[in-house]
Amino acid sequence: MRNKIIALLLGAAILVAACGNRHEQAAATDTVTDDYGRTVVVPAHPSRVVSLSPAVTEIIFALGAGDLLVGRTDFCVYPPEAEAIPSIGGISNLNIEKILSLNPDLVVSGSMVGKKVTEQMDRMGTPMVCVIEKPRFDALYDNIAAIGRLVGREHEADSLNALMHERVNALVADTPNTDATTQSNNNAITPKVYYVVGFGPAGNFTAGGNTFINDIIRMAGGRNIAEGVEGWSYSLEALVEADPDYIIVRREDSAAFCSMKPYNTLSAVRSGRVIGIESGTFDLQVPRNIDAILHLRQRMAQ
């Protein structure tokens, strides 16, 4: 009888210790500073994450943490598995009630979500951290590290960054004009490139020199004709005058661009040097940017 009592007491002690450990793990927190400069207390091991950014969603999946996602936006469609996750709708018109209905313990937003929304979420008791896209390509590594820390995948983030560094070094080692931080001194033989963000009656928009897209073009061996522009607006007159050697456009917009006047008079269009690029590989700051560098480099080498 005495042995049975001792065994029961030991079992109870072990159970209490185990429950205590689980409680401590669940209650463990981390304090981070997001890209709005806000200090946010987040769970060290979140289990229910809502992503309000296609770039954040893609990086979370790249880190092998897609199973943590319980919500995403309509625009979070890569990888394809993301579309199986319930959507909270758009980005500019966030449905906060719908986000909260998913009972997340962490919300991660991106460049399209304003600081006021993040503060509103904080007041409702749900930690929200903003990880925005940044002007330089190398900032992608920092974003991956930041998201890896948020979702408890720091080791995976380090491994992904190491692999990406290796791929980038291999891609640009023998590519001329790959320094994304300096002007090229050999523009005469460097192909001129124009990236189409928007076109038509509403105006012409591209990526200026203060964007990571400009870095991608340079790392692929091209020269962005809008590298001297800050922001996204570009004049039609400047485009026609520069008459770029290559034009980059989203695949779904390629046919419309090439058939519309006066774009159809540009040398790149008439010579078949319009490069259709997969959405997300070029306009989001994500690991697939390296695929964009490779694709552009191959096309411009033909």
**1 within some domain:** no
Question: In this predicted structure, what is the pLDDT of residue 270?
Answer: 97
How far, in whole angstroms, is CA 212 from its chain's centroid? 11
Instruction: Report the range of poorest mean pLDDT among 114-123, 174-183, 244-253.
Output: 174-183
Question: In this predicted structure, what is the pLDDT of residue 26?
Answer: 44
Instruction: Report the range of poorest mean pLDDT among 5-19, 164-178, 229-243.
Output: 5-19
**147 within some domain:** yes
54 and 155 in a single domain? The answer is yes
**Cβ(247)–Cβ(273) under 8 Å?**
yes
Question: In this predicted structure, what is the pLDDT of residue 302?
Answer: 79
User: How many domains does the chain fold into?
Assistant: 2
Bigger pLDDT: 122 vs 288: 288
Residues 202-225 have a mean pLDDT of: 96
156 and 183 in a single domain? The answer is no
**210 within some domain:** yes
**10 within some domain:** no
Q: For residue 287, say if its preceding peptide bond is cis, omega within 30 degrees of 0.
A: no
143 burial (CB, 10 Å; 0-12 / 13-18 / 19+) is: buried
Interval 10-48: pLDDT, tens: 444 444 444 444 444 445 999 999 998 989 999 999 999
155 and 201 in a single domain? The answer is no
* Residue numbers of the domain that contains 79: 29-163
Residues 47-54 have a mean pLDDT of: 97
**242 within some domain:** yes
**51 within some domain:** yes
Question: In this predicted structure, what is the pLDDT of residue 184?
Answer: 42
Residues 65-91 have a mean pLDDT of: 96
- Residue 219: CATH number of its domain: 3.40.50.1980
206 and 274 in a single domain? The answer is yes
> Among positive and negative, which fits the CA dihedral 63, 67, 71, 76?
positive
43 and 150 in a single domain? The answer is yes
Question: In this predicted structure, what is the pLDDT of residue 125?
Answer: 86
Give CA–CA dist 112/201, Å, rounded: 24
Interval 173-212: pLDDT, tens: 766 554 443 344 444 489 999 999 999 999 999 999 999 9
**132 within some domain:** yes
130 and 191 in a single domain? The answer is no
Predicted TM-score (pTM) of this structure: 0.85
Which of 163, 187, 212 terminates a domain? The answer is 163
Long-range Cβ pairs for the range 292-299 (8 Å, 24+):
292/216, 292/220, 293/168, 293/171, 293/172, 293/216, 293/219, 293/220, 294/171, 294/220, 296/193, 296/216, 296/217, 296/220, 296/221, 296/222, 296/246, 296/248, 297/171, 297/175, 297/220, 297/221, 299/246, 299/275
Mean pLDDT of the chain: 87
156 and 210 in a single domain? The answer is no
Question: In this predicted structure, what is the pLDDT of residue 296?
Answer: 94
Bigger pLDDT: 122 vs 286: 286
Question: In this predicted structure, what is the pLDDT of residue 124?
Answer: 85
Give CA–CA dist 290/267, Å, rounded: 27
Question: In this predicted structure, what is the pLDDT of residue 23?
Answer: 42
Question: In this predicted structure, what is the pLDDT of residue 181?
Answer: 39
Instruction: State the pLDDT confidence band at 171, using cuts at 50, 70 and 90.
Output: confident
Bigger pLDDT: 177 vs 123: 123
Q: In the predicted model, is pLDDT for residue 8 greater than 70? A: no
- Residue 292: which of 242, 209, 199, 222 has the closest Cα? 222
133 and 37 in a single domain? The answer is yes
Q: For residue 79, say if its preceding peptide bond is cis, omega within 30 degrees of 0.
A: yes
210 and 272 in a single domain? The answer is yes
**Cβ(146)–Cβ(53) under 8 Å?**
no
Give CA–CA dist 223/218, Å, rounded: 6
Residues 140-168 have a mean pLDDT of: 97
**103 within some domain:** yes
